[in-house]
Structure 1
Amino acid sequence: MKLMRIGVDLAKNVFQIHGVDCHELPVWRQRLPRDRWLQTVLEKIESGCEIGMESCGGAHHWARQLQARGFRVKLIAPQFVKPYVKSNKNDANDAEAICEAMSCPTMRFVAIKTIEQQDIQATHRIRAGLIEQRTAKTNQIRGLVTEYGLVAPKELLMLRRAIPCWLEDADNGLTARFRRLLDGLWGDLRALDERVCKLDGEITAIATSEPSAVRLQQLRGVGPMIATALVVALGDARQFANG
């Protein structure tokens, strides 16, 4: 039994395998526990066998593990696998669909991220989450002070300036209790500002040390944020047809 191609449906605890031979006949269908699947695959397949997975959570990690052992790995976006699912969606059918989708000559594959690129991606995602929290916090502050007859500015910079003034103004009608509450929200907002600023600094540092990001910043209008985001989005450019 020589496997030409296998599709792997990743899950939290159990992975489903679907493998075909050179005649496109299914010769290996198996469910494997997470802690044994990699070793089992390495024992079953030869170096010429291609391995495919959906680009879902954990896929880049496992792709790097397999690449490090000399195997060719292809990641496929879930929306491109879906048309190949022939019947009800389950792990076995998904693995078969992945295996078949890999063989499509016009299939567009997802670039496998390095661990460094995933670090950059995590930095961007955390920063985006903090900005969402900050936006929610400022909207909360605006809504609350409006109920006390104060007009909150829309601009974040102006709101930062207004809050200390409201806290210090003894004649604006705010109660002692609400002043304490507002002061707590003001502290939350400053803490979020500080964390966003720190991550901005990290991204700037990455942009000056990561070679691809440095080259991208030579383009007009591309700064550290865009450059580092592109490094994550594009992955290894050598995987694309035009290099």
Structure 2
Amino acid sequence: MISSKTVVGVDIAKRVFQLHWVEPDTGEVVSRQLKRDRFLEYFTNRSPCLIGMEACGGSQHWARQLTALGHEVKLMPACWVKPFCGSNKSDAQDARAIWSAVQQPGAKTVAVKTEAQQAVLALHRIRQQLVKFRTAQINGLRGLLTEYGEIMPLGRAALAKGVVAAFERIAERLPAVLIDTFREQWSRIATLDDQINEIERRLQVWHRNDASSRRIAEIPGVGLLTATAAIASIGDPRAFNSGRELAAWLGLVPRQSGTGGRLRLLGISKHGDTYLRTLLIHGARSVLTHSKAPPTWATKLAQRRPQNVAIVALANKMARTIWALLAHERRYQRDFVSKPTVP
């Protein structure tokens, strides 16, 4: 019987799960394998325990299931588990590493998301994949037309205007089978456009029905994609103690390198969610370069430092603002000045 204080490290897989724990009463080290269909059954009749898992594919599902059984689940980022793996790689070694990592003081964990939040992220991932497909199709068509002297203008809208005329010009001297194939390629690009627009329409419906998403969308530079992706990726804002922790989780803080008491700041760490970080940086770039009234501090920073430095600094500020609005359930105020908490 697992006591309430037992810490269990779980290495999940497709079919066989590896468990590792130490019996608190006897000190016995236990390493056990469980089939996938017996995993939940094993924990159903156990006393509540702390279960550590690496944040990977399927971990969110199992975390929700185990939490429903009364257990406490902590999802560990892979970078926090790796230092405890040692030199050899095996399922038993990974489970032991997770067991060690989850007990470390100050260990960072990944928030357990709801199924609705994961559904929104799934829409974002599918849209991102379709955008990559569309870009590949467009670049392929551009390259093929270049072989026949047709240089397409830059930009999606300019390409749409010029490609039909290009087909008519080369149709006079090239085989019909090739021209038909080109037109089919262009038709596939239009189909991808429709699919991407449909996903964005579904995200818009979800966005209108979610108060938190509408609230953070009031921040300059935060649009539909950034707002919905932030709500779904962050999960519970209370998982972060401050806005700076969220910015660090997104990799928007500088890396540090130092020795002998000397500390040197490098470029941003680029840890965490690449997709959400990219959306925030693109939003910050739009505010700084196209907004009629960009933040004064960001404009002054861009005058004395490279523009990308100012853009990342503004993205960092946007991430902190998002956390503040979510954690304190406030509306965005452009001229709001935070005050230190008096103990």
Q: Tell me, in whole angstroms, the C-alpha distance in 1 between the residues paired with 2:176 and 2:128.
A: 34
Aligned partner of 2:199 in structure 1 is 199
1:227-238 aligned within 5 A: 227-238=227-238
Q: Give the 3-state SS of the residue equivalent to 2:51 in structure 1.
A: strand
Deviation at 1:201, TM superposition (A): 1.0
Deviation at 1:41, TM superposition (A): 2.3
39, 42, 59: which one pairs with 2:41? 39
**AA of the residue aligned to 1:195:** Q
Instruction: Indicate if the aligned counterparts of 2:171 and 2:179 stay in contact, CA closer than 8 A.
Output: no
* TM-score normalized with structure 2 length: 0.66
Deviation at 1:138, TM superposition (A): 0.5
Aligned partner of 2:77 in structure 1 is 77
Instruction: Indicate if the aligned counterparts of 1:8 and 1:53 stay in contact, CA closer than 8 A.
Output: yes
Aligned length: 241
Q: Tell me, in whole angstroms, the C-alpha distance in 1 between the residues paired with 2:26 and 2:126.
A: 43
1:182-221 aligned within 5 A: 182-221=182-221
Greater shift in the superposed pair: 174-183 or 31-40:
174-183
Instruction: Indicate if the aligned counterparts of 2:123 and 2:199 stay in contact, CA closer than 8 A.
Output: yes
Cα deviation, 1:45-75, whole Å, max 9, x if unaligned, reads: 312x101100011000000001112211000
Aligned partner of 1:145 in structure 2 is 145
Q: Cα–Cα, structure 1 residues 102 and 25, in superposed 2: closer, same or farther, change >3 Å?
A: farther
Q: Which runs of 5+ in 1 are unaligned?
A: none
Instruction: Indicate if the aligned counterparts of 2:18 and 2:95 stay in contact, CA closer than 8 A.
Output: yes
**AA of the residue aligned to 2:235:** G
Deviation at 1:197, TM superposition (A): 0.8
Q: Give the 3-state SS of the residue equivalent to 1:63 in structure 2.
A: helix
**AA of the residue aligned to 2:18:** Q
Q: Does 1:8 align with 2:25?
A: no
% identity of equivalent residues: 39
Q: Which runs of 5+ in 2 are unaligned?
A: 243-326, 328-343
Deviation at 1:170, TM superposition (A): 6.9
Q: Cα–Cα, structure 1 residues 114 and 171, in superposed 2: closer, same or farther, change >3 Å?
A: closer
Q: Give the 3-state SS of the residue equivalent to 1:74 in structure 2.
A: strand
Q: Cα–Cα, structure 1 residues 236 and 120, in superposed 2: closer, same or farther, change >3 Å?
A: same
Deviation at 1:20, TM superposition (A): 2.3
Q: Tell me, in whole angstroms, the C-alpha distance in 2 between the residues paired with 1:28 and 1:38.
A: 18
* Aligned CA-pair RMSD: 1.9
Instruction: Indicate if the aligned counterparts of 1:20 and 1:26 stay in contact, CA closer than 8 A.
Output: yes
Aligned partner of 1:28 in structure 2 is 30
Aligned partner of 1:117 in structure 2 is 117
Deviation at 1:98, TM superposition (A): 0.5
Deviation at 1:236, TM superposition (A): 1.4
Q: Tell me, in whole angstroms, the C-alpha distance in 2 between the residues paired with 1:38 and 1:194.
A: 41
Q: Cα–Cα, structure 1 residues 225 and 173, in superposed 2: closer, same or farther, change >3 Å?
A: same
Larger RCO (alpha carbons 8 Å, 6+ apart): 1
Q: Give the 3-state SS of the residue equivalent to 2:37 in structure 1.
A: coil
Instruction: Indicate if the aligned counterparts of 1:166 and 1:172 stay in contact, CA closer than 8 A.
Output: no
Cα deviation, 1:114-145, whole Å, max 9, x if unaligned, reads: 10111011100000000000000001110111
Deviation at 1:196, TM superposition (A): 0.8
